[in-house]
Chains A and B, each alone.
Chain A
Amino acid sequence: DAGITQSPRHKVTETGTPVTLRCHQTENHRYMYWYRQDPGHGLRLIHYSYGVKDTDKGEVSDGYSVSRSKTEDFLLTLESATSSQTSVYFCAMRLAGDTDTQYFGPGTRLTVL
């Protein structure tokens, strides 16, 4: 997983609390993505960023916000966590070139009680 890290790797929190997940890359890639992965649903895009302070919504953005103040960091925030947000969260970066090949981080397992 060199080049992209996620923190924390595991987190247990309670309903209603705010949670921030961090994604950090050392490759200077412009595009970064947050996904969630749940059984039966595969990977679903939450939000993505195409540059510093440039972000857009994905397929399942409700209840999530993101920020990107530096190229290397992409933060995902759950303003008020709910049990339906229990999931494994993956960050990814788009590699250079004319395709959308992505390189993924190791994931964060989030449990909302």
Chain B
Amino acid sequence: SQKIEQNSEALNIQEGKTATLTCNYTNYSPAYLQWYRQDPGRGPVFLLLIRENEKEKRKERLKVTFDTTLKQSLFHITASQPADSATYLCALGSSYKLIFGSGTRLLVRP
């Protein structure tokens, strides 16, 4: 069955550093991959989408890469800020539905 894995351990980094989150998937060939941010007590919010024919996508301080051979996406936040502290979810699309990873919690220390 399709499976998406994200590091369940929280990522704890110093302000100003680059945060890198990983999303791995199996038994799937997605046309695109999405990243969402979720703050405590709130619903996920869409951040970025990258298609299978794109290697990299950027939006302000965010960068996403997509390696369909490795079946992996990396999500980078450069010059991280305490306000970036949240849980980040990756998701794969399939027939008008999304399959979500369980998310990785990011904590940025001031």
Please give the residue numbers on chain A whose beta carbons come within 8 Å of chain B beta carbons, in ascending order: 1, 31, 33, 35, 40-45, 48, 50, 58, 90, 92, 94, 99-107
Contacts and interface: CB of A to CB of B under 8 A. Distances in A.
B59 interface: no
B96 A102 contact: no
B10 interface: no
Contacts of B46: 101-103
A110 to B, nearest CB: 14
B8 interface: yes
B68 interface: no
Question: 9 tightest A-B contacts by CB?
Answer: A104-B43, A42-B102, A100-B93, A43-B100, A42-B100, A90-B43, A104-B44, A101-B46, A100-B98
B98 A104 contact: no
Give the size category of B's interface with A.
Answer: 20 to 34
Contacts of B42: 1, 106-107
Contact of B43 (A1, A31, A41): A1
Contact of A100 (B8, B44, B96, B102): B96
B32 A31 contact: no
B97 A58 contact: yes
Interface of B: 8, 32, 34, 41-46, 49, 89, 93-94, 96-103
A106 B49 contact: no
Given A101-B34, A102-B46, A107 B93 contact: no
Nearest to B103: A42
Best-buried of A1, A35, A43, A48 by chain B (most CB within 10 Å): A43
